[in-house]
Amino acid sequence: MKNPNIKVGIVGANGYAGAEVLRLIASHPAAELSIVTSRAHYGKRVCDVFPALPSPLVFSDMNDPLLKKCDAVFVALPQTAGATLVGDLIDAGVRVIDLSADYRFDDIELYEKTYNVTHPRPDLNALAVYGLCEVNRDKIRDARLVANPGCYVTSVLLPMLPLCKAGLAANIIADSKSGTSGAGRKSDEAYSFCAVDESFKAYGVFNHRHAPEMSEKLGVDILFTPHLLPIKRGILSTVYFDVTDADEALNALRSAYNNEPFVSYTDQLPEISAVAHTNRCLFSARFSGKRGIIISVIDNLLKGAAGQAVQNMNIMFGQDETAGLPLYAPI
Amino acid sequence: MKNPNIKVGIVGANGYAGAEVLRLIASHPAAELSIVTSRAHYGKRVCDVFPALPSPLVFSDMNDPLLKKCDAVFVALPQTAGATLVGDLIDAGVRVIDLSADYRFDDIELYEKTYNVTHPRPDLNALAVYGLCEVNRDKIRDARLVANPGCYVTSVLLPMLPLCKAGLAANIIADSKSGTSGAGRKSDEAYSFCAVDESFKAYGVFNHRHAPEMSEKLGVDILFTPHLLPIKRGILSTVYFDVTDADEALNALRSAYNNEPFVSYTDQLPEISAVAHTNRCLFSARFSGKRGIIISVIDNLLKGAAGQAVQNMNIMFGQDETAGLPLYAPI
Amino acid sequence: MKNPNIKVGIVGANGYAGAEVLRLIASHPAAELSIVTSRAHYGKRVCDVFPALPSPLVFSDMNDPLLKKCDAVFVALPQTAGATLVGDLIDAGVRVIDLSADYRFDDIELYEKTYNVTHPRPDLNALAVYGLCEVNRDKIRDARLVANPGCYVTSVLLPMLPLCKAGLAANIIADSKSGTSGAGRKSDEAYSFCAVDESFKAYGVFNHRHAPEMSEKLGVDILFTPHLLPIKRGILSTVYFDVTDADEALNALRSAYNNEPFVSYTDQLPEISAVAHTNRCLFSARFSGKRGIIISVIDNLLKGAAGQAVQNMNIMFGQDETAGLPLYAPI
Amino acid sequence: MKNPNIKVGIVGANGYAGAEVLRLIASHPAAELSIVTSRAHYGKRVCDVFPALPSPLVFSDMNDPLLKKCDAVFVALPQTAGATLVGDLIDAGVRVIDLSADYRFDDIELYEKTYNVTHPRPDLNALAVYGLCEVNRDKIRDARLVANPGCYVTSVLLPMLPLCKAGLAANIIADSKSGTSGAGRKSDEAYSFCAVDESFKAYGVFNHRHAPEMSEKLGVDILFTPHLLPIKRGILSTVYFDVTDADEALNALRSAYNNEPFVSYTDQLPEISAVAHTNRCLFSARFSGKRGIIISVIDNLLKGAAGQAVQNMNIMFGQDETAGLPLYAPI
């Protein structure tokens, strides 16, 4: 039925993003899982650890030589933890899609300051292509290393880049709200059901790590406030800005992603349920005088992480860009 | 046990706000329910319609003469539907707390334009006191008619009035998120469980009716965007503004409600669960250069509606202001 | 990319089950949507009515002649509403998968009594194959009319049929709990977010319409109680029974679906999240003396409706039975 | 306003049950908080640890001598952890309401086997009165030690005791579903939001610790299966049984709690939202031939824990039994 040609490895497959990559690859028409790794679950079968993922594969270690025999490896580890491995894989000729922030920044000092770390392999940074698919498609095609964008960042960049590139927006404030899976798999009372359910809160005010990533890519400083939604998946960003010319801005937004399967301008204000469990980004805009508001929605684990990562793989390996990626949202 | 002296009527007791007034009055130490009305449930016992409200009272009609024998009547009807009744009750010497927007505006033309109606009793508007308890306490004490503030409005005014009065804030944007009970009791697919659960959306962008109410009370134009949260109760407002002096602003916020039982500045960013099911408002501020952000939370049905209404009654009738009003939030 | 050979029509594509069929067919590797109908949305584009379903198709009427040119038509209409259309389609040589209860019963009088209707086309009943895929696969292969099983029924039959056929279980009680999508798309306060969220209730005690369907297929009377869960999708059935031989029963359960991709016995008690958004059924058993308990989970809209319907289509048209059907559950 | 005469201590006030006692006592008209203890939060102000609980009290240690000066102490500690303290308090003349299982069992060996512990103070067991208020009111009045019943147990005993005492029910199966707060305050991925939300599961099949408590109090063996609901609070128990005489059973159920403020038979099937945030138990019954089904609902943290504990205190100290306890459920 399936004609696999891309041999895939996943490092850190027990985190939410890694597990979603695993799920997508398992039903991808042109990819095959060769190896999945997890420190926590080493030696166990995927299906025994996660009944939701009926894969007979056994979790390996990230030092397993099989990784170097893959065509593509998704690295879904915490900041800096996978940076050296990424280098080794690239040296071995493997093409890497890194889901951490390690290779997202042009300015490596900004990265180090933002994450309060020392980059283990700054030399590789020049190789990395920022994996915002619709924007960097041409560079991604031949990239050896793709840095998959942050979830909040994707929700803001897709609608705002066309405006910022055209100099149409200033004084940008992004008020974003994310489902709880954005925090990762957690054993922490703050993310317990009773703490999150029927509540809502802001966090990281004036100091969230996605703000510098947004600002660098947009080329302007942006004020960004994230909030925690009592839902599993999805991000909605409400972006406020001063617009120089509302008609021109609307035209720019309408035309920017004209033939894109995953990114669309809509007249109706979009809601999270329209894109949850898909790889889509929907956005709409409203203007009043010199004020503009954009509402943008994505699934934080798909277009905001694993889905965009697989889309990057599709581009890198000459596949139909939509292969294995859900377009239609369930009820 | 209870020594009731205030005879209370509730008009429109089947809406969420009216039902919450009913619930609060049922356990209020100094008030007694005389009559509750509902067009939809006329002639039925409250406990038969609402198993959650074990009151043996029978729903009356809003023309029932018993209403005029009450000391206080809460009117919880849609815009304009209760405006004439309010006049009749006041003429009969009853003190009225109106939960609609009918008497909230100083500028009656702004009200009529905002709600797209003709005010049935504009003559009464001058009598009405805007029932933001902590701010207008002295006027409320002797008021014959109190206009209970809007829910979103309360969440924004409490923290922002001290700043606006002192001229410390400009360029205000309120990005607010409300639980679904804010939409009222609804038979509408858009508010069905499957439509709201695991989703989130903005609505009323640039044209929500609470924006003019906020702007009138703050004395400056405000940009306001409401969103629908998949929770039953609670509002969180994230308010962005340019601050002229951050230290002064912080002092103003810290001191504004110093001895208030229900309204408090907190150092921690507050979340909805800290105030849900209580009559409290908690807020906190963060500053960075000339930018300020305030996070403010209330329960939309209590401090944002029925709770503040009962607090107004307490003030009007010389009771302890906290009587019958929850301060501690449940888990 | 896709090599479509099955031309598909969907009648009643705006209900939850119909919309899920639409979603599955849209990404099915061997099927193509020819026509979708909806009385409510006639003449509108699917993507304009449902932003979650980016299909450019326009909703047709159920009398559209295009239906008769399809290879397979899914009929997802309320009881009796589609029964005549089903006959017309079959006469035209179209193979039909009916998601209503119209053709599920061997005993048509039991059907009429259960649903309190007169069957419009009792003559067709003999043609109908009960579409419980893993059990009736051979008959489904050549069926002209497949009656897709009820959602609750599927969750109970899959684990209990192996026991009942072997005479191992008696005194069966099925205590089932379903997500709210099981009630269908509703504009009804009883299914509003505020009514369902943070609550839970039983309904249809001793008189739910799925009990006769279960009892007929199991060949023994069963006591069935459904409950409404505050989640969108999923059913968990807790089935109590007297077991004649626990070891034999466990063997029967373990071996019944040995090589099935979608139905599995598990040692761990399964939970809804392991199968939500998939076409799987997981179940586990526990025994204590002569008492047995089975816990069984499915997604009510997939294995309990649209997913099983598409699985039936796959069988009928000689496709890989898993084509287009999700196996891995998302986070 | 408040005329306190009962000096109250709470040991283990940071658990959910303890925190709910704290909340109830804070607004109780005849009780005053003297001391609250928490090992985890020793030395911190309650309001700083829990913004939802604006109490200026500082968490003490459970060895604080102030505990012995209280009139009533609520002990909300894990099994055995408070058993010795309970003895010391009783020796000091303090009346104790223990929320653990330590003193619930008549048969101390059954307790030790069920909880797999050695009872630290078996000598005290004879003193303890089982605090099911409506049933043991007379003994509770003068008790020095009240053992507060388990949450699941309360939901089952209240409707089933009248039947079992009259020999009207046999072959009892209780299929119970509880909100997540029943698991306590947890830092455990299994209780994380993403694990619980949109899911549902059974646990403790054939071996939950509340089964022996139920069976002992009912005087017959009962089959009990608990499930985890994706809601914060509330239990619904669906109880199946063989009935000897349905009319007699219905009469027994209707009359058992005739003038009780908190416990009521209802004709409508009750749902959790009708009792959440209250101290009520509602139940209804349906019969078909020799089969009976009872649906019973409580709030697991109130009637199932803290509320019943305070009700016990009210009885013990001659207060109105409803003092400080919510009767009306919020929306």
ipTM for the assembly: 0.97
Angle, CA of D171, D176 and D179, to the nearest 5°:
170
Per-residue pLDDT at A2: 47
Chain A neighbors (3+ CB pairs < 8 Å)? B, C, D
Question: Count of CB atoms within 10 A of residue C93's CB?
Answer: 11
Nearest CA to A150 among A114, A123, A196, A118?
Answer: A114
B327 CB neighbours in chain D (<8 A) are 26-27, 54
Measured between CA atoms, the residue of chain D closest to residue A182 is D194
With tokens 């150092």, the residue in question is B267
What is the pLDDT at residue A1? 41
For C238-279, give the DSSP string.
EEEEEES-HHHHHHHHHHHTTT-SSEEE-SSPP-GGGTTTSS
Dihedral sign (CA C142, C144, C148, C153): negative
Nearest to C295 by CA among C274, C276, C271, C329: C271
Q: Compute the distance between CA of residue A208 and CA of residue A199 in angstroms, rounded to an integer.
A: 20
Provide the annotated active-site residues of C: 151
Task: Suggest the residue from D176, D201, D278 to mutate for an interface test with chain C (most C CBs closer than 10 A).
Answer: D201
Catalytic residue among A151, A164, A194, A281: A151
* Interval D302-327: pLDDT, tens: 999 999 999 999 999 999 999 999 99
With H, G, I as helix, E, B as strand and everything else as coil, classify residue B238: strand
In chain C, whose CA is at the least distance from the CA of A261?
C54
Decide if C76 contacts C22 (C-beta within 8 A). Answer: no
Chain C residues inside the 8 Å CB shell of B230: 193, 197
How far apart CA A40 and CA A264 sit, in angstroms, is 39
**Which of C52, C323, C327 has the CB atom closest to A329's CB atom?**
C52
Burial of C247 (0-12, 13-18, 19+ CB in 10 A): exposed
pLDDT at D151 over 60: yes
Query: From the centroid of its chain, how far is CA B168?
Result: 26
Nearest CA in chain B to C193: B193
pLDDT score, position D53? 97
Of B92, B41, C275, C98, whose CA–CA distance to D198 is shortest? C275
Name every chain B residue with its beta carbon within 8 A of the beta carbon of D330. Answer: 20, 23, 52, 233, 277, 301
Question: In the predicted model, is pLDDT for residue C251 greater than 70?
Answer: yes
The answer to whether the CB atoms of A323 and C1 lie below 8 A apart is yes
Does pLDDT of C32 surpass 50?
yes
pLDDT at residue D79 tops 50: yes
Residues of B in contact with C180 (CB under 8 A): 193-194, 197
Tell me which residue in A189, A198, A232 faces D194 most closely, judged by beta carbons. Answer: A232
In a 3-state reduction of DSSP, which class is residue C235?
Answer: strand
pLDDT digits 0-9 by tens, C91-110: 999 999 999 999 999 999 99
Alpha-carbon distance B182 to nearest alpha carbon in chain C (angstroms): 10
Catalytic residues of B: 151
C10 to chain D, minimum CA–CA distance in Å?
28
- B3 confidence band (pLDDT: 50, 70, 90): low
* Catalytic annotation present for A164: no
Domains and CATH numbers, chain C: 6-149+303-316 (3.40.50.720), 151-299 (3.30.360.10)
Q: Are strands A235-243 and A169-179 parallel, antiparallel or unpaired?
A: antiparallel
Place of tokens 């709990």: C177
In this prediction, residue B45 has a pLDDT band, given cuts at 50, 70 and 90, of very high
Cβ–Cβ gap C188/B193 under 8 Å: no
The whole-angstrom separation of Cα A281 and Cα A292 is 19
- Return the structure tokens found at C143: 């069926």
Burial (CB < 10 A; 0-12, 13-18, 19+), residue C281, is buried
| Per-residue pLDDT band at C69 (split at 50, 70, 90) | very high
CB A90 within 8 A of CB A98: no
Distance CA D220, CA D207 (A): 16
Mutation target to probe the B interface, by most B beta carbons within 10 A, among C16, C193, C233 is C193
pLDDT of residue D263 exceeding 80, the answer is yes
The pLDDT confidence band at residue C4, using thresholds 50, 70 and 90, is low
Alpha-carbon gap, residue B16 to B49, rounded angstroms: 13
List CB contacts (< 8 A) between A293 and chain B.
Answer: 205-206, 225
In this prediction, what percent of chain C has a pLDDT beyond 70?
99
Q: Smallest Cα–Cα separation from A275: which of A256, A296, A258?
A: A296
Residue with tokens 């209870």: B2
Alpha-carbon gap: C175 to the closest alpha carbon of chain B (Å) = 23
pLDDT band at D115 (very low <50, low <70, confident <90, very high): very high
Strand A291-298 to strand A281-288: parallel, antiparallel, or no bridges (unpaired)? antiparallel
Residue D3's pLDDT is what?
57
Whole-prediction pTM: 0.98
Task: Find the CB nearest C201 among D173, D198, D271.
Answer: D271
Inter-chain CB proximity D200 and C231 less than 8 Å: yes
pLDDT of residue A85: 97
| Euclidean distance between the first and the last CA atom of chain C, given in angstroms as a whole number | 28
* pLDDT value, residue B1: 41
Residue with tokens 């496709």: C319
pLDDT at A148: 98
Query: Which pLDDT score is estimated for B312?
Result: 98
Residue A304: closest CA among A277, A331, A268: A277
Cα distances (angstroms) measured from residue C32 to each of A319, B275, C21, C94, C324 = 21, 52, 12, 15, 12
Residue C180 and residue B195: Cβ atoms within 8 Å?
A: no
Among chain A residues, CA nearest to D179: A194
pLDDT value for D4: 66
Low-confidence residues of chain A, pLDDT below 70? 1-4
Is D2's pLDDT higher than 70?
no
- Which residue in D has a C-alpha nearest to residue C274's C-alpha? D199
Instruction: pLDDT band for D13, please (50, 70, 90 cuts).
Output: very high
Between B4 and B150, the more confident residue is: B150
Q: Is it the case that residue B56 has pLDDT exceeding 80?
A: yes
Residue B116 φ/ψ region, left for φ over 0, alpha for ψ in the -120 to 50 degree band, beta for the rest = left
Q: Where are the beta strands (DSSP E) in chain A?
A: 6-11, 31-37, 72-75, 95-98, 128-130, 145-147, 169-179, 201-202, 222-229, 235-243, 263-265, 281-288, 291-298
User: Residues of B at the D interface (Cβ-Cβ below 8 Å)?
Assistant: 1, 16, 19-20, 22-23, 26-27, 29, 51-55, 181, 198, 232-233, 264, 266, 268, 270-271, 273-275, 277-278, 280, 282, 301, 320, 323, 326-331
Q: Please check the confidence at residue B4 and state whether its pLDDT lies above 70.
A: no
Residue B124 has pLDDT above 90, yes or no: yes
Taking the CA atoms of B101, B104, B109 and B113 in sequence, report the sign of the dihedral they define: negative
Mean pLDDT for D264-292 is 98
Name the residue among A280, A326, A331 with its Cβ closest to that of C232: A331
Q: How does the average pLDDT of chain C come out, rounded?
A: 97
Strands of the sheet containing C281-288, edge to edge, are: C201-202, C222-229, C169-179, C235-243, C291-298, C281-288, C263-265
**Residue D13 and residue D8: Cα distance in Å, rounded?**
12
Chain B residue numbers touching D301 (CB-CB < 8 A) = 330-331
The whole-angstrom separation of Cα D234 and Cα D71 is 30
Pairing of strands C235-243, C291-298: antiparallel
Query: Where does the pLDDT of residue D1 fall: very low under 50, low under 70, confident under 90, or very high at 90 and above?
Result: very low
Mean pLDDT of chain B: 97
User: How many cross-chain Cβ pairs, B to D, lie less than 8 Å apart?
Assistant: 91
Contact call for A238 and B175, based on CB within 8 A: yes
pLDDT > 90 in chain B, percent: 98
